Amino acid sequence: MTDESIEQLVEEIQSGVEQLAKRSQRSLPVLHPPPSRDTLASRIKQLPVPPPPSYLGFLTRHNGWDNFWIGYSLLGVDGPHTERALEDIRVTVDEDTWAQKKYFPDQVATKFAERERKKPNFVHLPNHIIFATNFNGGLGVFDSRTRGDDLEMGVILWTPAGITDRHANFEAMLKAALRETQAALQGS
């Protein structure tokens, strides 16, 4: 996986989603210009674990991507679009953490980490990188439990009701987005 292969996928998805949005009069996808190096470096330091190289490569070229796929927006590192996404993510994480504490009052964060190791479908969101939101409770999450030798991580599409989809990594998620976008273009 190279930055060029990720960028090619991004360009193809952007083109397809733009066509779909124009046909259905939905909001156009917005691929934001790159952030400054300093801003990117500062944001990376705030993450619970280092991001996978593929997503870091995306962020060096694009400061987020609004309406990129099935209602999801990819987080940038700064700007109003990122602040809006971060606020939505904060609310979702706070509600999920509150629910976990309510229904599992005897467990603390260390117990949640242990529970995550035993139950792959249990996700304690603060232990992972959340990189996308659909502004309706759905989050794109890099599953830090799956970090490989290449430093890539699996992608989970998470909702309060559970995991709705899994992808081997960021590139695999983008390929799924492209397939679905192309299918939608052919079907409309």
* Prediction pTM value: 0.89
Distances (CA, A) of 175 to 79, 127, 165: 27, 26, 14
**Which of 27-41, 61-75, 93-107 is predicted least confidently?**
93-107
Of 152 and 97, the structure prediction assigns the larger pLDDT to 152
The per-residue pLDDT for range 136-150, each reduced to its tens digit, is 999 999 999 999 999
Instruction: Give the right CATH number for 3-187 from 3.20.20.210, 2.30.42.10, 2.30.30.110, 3.40.1580.10.
Output: 3.40.1580.10
The pLDDT assigned to 133 comes to 97
